[in-house]
Structure 1
Amino acid sequence: MTHDHPAPHRRPLRWLVSAMTAAALGTALLIGVAPATADTVSPDVDPPAPVSTQQLASDASRTRATVAWDASSLQEVYAPADGFYSYAPSVVRDGDTEWIWTCHNDEFRVIKDHIYLTKIVDGVVVDSRSVLQASAAPAWDSFHVCDPSVVEGKFRYLGVKYSLAMFHLGNDLDASAHNQIGVAFANSPEGPWVKLPEPIVTFDRADQWGVGQPTAVMMPGKPGTVLLGYTQGDTSTRAYVTEVDLKKAESFTTTTPVQLPTAGLTGTDGAADYLNGFDLVFDKKGDQFLAVREQHPYAFDNPWWIGPAVQVVTIPQRDLLRGRGTWAPVGDVNESLTGFDRNHNAGFARDWTGHLAAKNEVSVVFTTSCSSLPTIDDQDWSLATCDSLYSYDLWSIDGALNRRR
């Protein structure tokens, strides 16, 4: 990726899919589930500082890129069985093998998130299983675990060395609220994964969306330190990055979070957009980060908590780390490209450290969904032709990355 978009979490409304009345739904939307807009931000909350003209001018002269999508590369990656969903992929591509960790239910038509690993060799799914589950109550992640992001590094926890870290969202409610971010360690993609018992990015309020949608990239030259991006949703929706030092995870440290800019982001309607539900990848050759992000506004028909398209954008490394500058859109994944009504909850195919899997290519793995309109007699979509959440599956598309200055 949620928990949904409140900030959203990359997530379909878990509790929305259950039988809620229209009145209850309205209440739910008031406690941080809907994307924040100017109308929902409290007047005493300061908006993000505008990007200066000087910063924008300097950004314009830096490396930017375009992505030329190869329509013939569009393919289905993974389709869960009927009554199951899969979305918000963290993808590692290594030769002919792909490891894809996703948010996935484990019981037929039961909305309770696990993290699954789907292994694909030469384009064929050879294994798909739950590798991380909710902890026992009253743990902070005792209900949902979702939104994985996996990187390779040099980590140590309680004296044991680990080569892999998985950042994930967790919560303790059957709701899209009180989300926090944790981390688990392993020496194999399949696990076993050992969780740090407490979250590394915390959120106190149980009546707001919280923090989630983590995306992790290893810091160059710092094998035990991870650059962690994430979404925060309370009275507004914002994105941050922080550095997490996991060389001794039981006493981990984080730097002061830096709020990411939104300048340059555009919605499907061409208007200025906000940032949430994003995955980062580092382009060493271009000294820049790419993000693939949810575009807004969200649709009014079912499912209305996800966007119709995702957008690939770039920003110079230095600007992202300092929370300044402007994003440059380089390619959209939308209905005209894929043929799907909904293209959402996407991730890049990356190498083990969070860099581009191929120097001059961008591969996006995204989630698709059907869509349908409600009727006056079917407000909870129980009779809808689109079984939206359970239509979620994964597709991918590749494109040539053309850098320019």
Structure 2
Amino acid sequence: MNELLKDLTPQVLGILVRRGADFAAAEDAVQEALVEAVRHWPDQMPDEPRAWLVKVATRKLIDAQRAESARRRRELKVQLEPPPGPTEHSDDTLLLLSRCCHPDLTPASAVALTLRAVGGLTTAQIAQAFLVPEATMAQRISRAKRTVAGGSFDTPGDVQAVLRVLYLVFNEGFTGEVDLAEEAIRLTRQLAAATDDPEVAGLLALMLLHHARRAARRTSSGEVVPLAQQDRSLWDTAMVTEGVEVLQGALARDRLGEYQAQAAIAALHDDAATAEETDWTQVLEWYDELLALSDSPVVALNRAVAVGEADGPLAGLRALDGVDPDLPRWDAVAAYLHEKAGECAEAARLYAVAAAKATNAAERDHLTRQAARLNASASSGSA
């Protein structure tokens, strides 16, 4: 039942807001309707769960308005209507996500509102996922709802803004009782079903191809395992296959975008039976495509690694010369390429520098181990 309610939450909220309800009031009403569903459905499941929720949420809206002072009471715009048809669900998915990713919202607020309004997560679950107090998250969500209140709800917003927010959700991974990576995939699937934009399919493919490697990314003690050293038998081959199929469908539309190019690179990594069998020439070609699309310094940094693998570490270091050295991970990439070039002392120094700049403990510990490994090797060689 919980999965059904999570799927129905954005549909019901989208319907109420499309009919004219204030966003914040509608979101509160839907949450109250969900409570009623949890209370009553175990005894008797309605024949039309979505219509039931729409009716109960509408009644909650009416009750809330009747509770207001006479001065502020106004005619309720939301009218009880027949159960919504399937097209209303498809239309509202993108509209509702667009509202949650309003340009006036900060990325953090857009993510929180998306998880609350579209994902159907509780404020407590979202707070736990982002490691902040529940009261802090409640304030963040309330401010976000006030920001988007009163806007029109008839034209989808910027799809790219929606995709950026969904990708932010995906990259949060697993930090609480809710797996945000899986939640992001679920929401992106909904969006992909509501639009034929190939970039939406590209993002879905990218998520699937990265998530397929999840079981191999950490040791049992939580240490980071680099891609080249991962046990590929732990990868989810069914998810890889789905990701490749989704990507092929997107590329066939001949409207290449950044997420499709990123997914193509991920697919080449996932397709290789071993790290040594990776087709780095093709990977580099896709990085060239991606750099032309995005002109991103992060892409340029990753491209330098691909150059180092395809054309040799010295070529990779020359490519790295054109990348801002203040960029996160620059020192780690430089260390990797120097080590491949046989310059182990410089590589050890750079790994130590990268470790000092790391933003999380797992990454810092991994880089520290790389520096210690090279220093130990140098010491044993000189003994």
TM tier, smaller: under 0.3
TM-score by length of 2: 0.22
Larger radius of gyration between Structure 1 and Structure 2: 2
- Higher strand fraction (1 or 2): 1
Q: Point out the structure with the larger helix share.
A: 2
- TM-score if structure 1 supplies the norm length? 0.21
